[in-house]
Amino acid sequence: MISLTLAQQLKAAGLVWHTNNYDFFAIPDRELDDRVFVLADMMAYTELVQGWPVVAFHGTAEWALDYILTREVVWMPTEEQLREALEAALQDAEFPATLSLARV
C-alpha cells in the first residue's frame, strides 16, 4: 500500500477517486493519520463470544463520525489501481514527437 504522503501528493496532482467497495482511504488532519479505512457495504469486526473468536457483522458504525465527505479523505490506491489510473492518463496525454530525458 502506498503511504499517506504519496496519496496526498497524488490527490493534489489531480488523481480522481471513483469510489468502489474495498477501496482504502485515510482521513488526514483529524488525529486519524495512522489509520487506514476500507469501504465496504457491511461493517465486520472480530470479538469474543463465549470465549471463542468470531467475526461479527453490523450494518452501521457505532462511533460518533456518522459520515465524512469524500473530498475530506484521501484515497490510498493499491498498486494495481494506481497503474490503471496512470495508464489511462498516459493514453489521453499528448506527447511531443521526440522525448528527451533530463537528469535531475
32-75 residue pLDDT tens: 888 999 898 877 777 787 888 877 766 544 544 455 667 778 88
In a domain, 97, yes or no: no
Residue 12 domain boundaries: 4-92
In a domain, 101, yes or no: no
In a domain, 53, yes or no: yes
pLDDT value of residue 85? 87
- Under DSSP, is residue 83 helix (H, G, I), strand (E, B) or coil? helix
What is the tally of structural domains in the chain?
1
Tell whether pTM > 0.75.
no
In a domain, 98, yes or no: no
In a domain, 29, yes or no: yes
pLDDT value of residue 61? 47
The strands making up 37-38's β-sheet, listed across from edge to edge, are 37-38, 24-26, 74-75
In a domain, 47, yes or no: yes
In a domain, 55, yes or no: yes
Amino acid at the residue 16: V
In a domain, 62, yes or no: yes
The residue ranges of DSSP E strands in 1-104, in sequence order, are: 24-26, 37-38, 43-49, 52-58, 74-75
**Alpha carbons 72 and 60: distance in angstroms, whole number:** 20
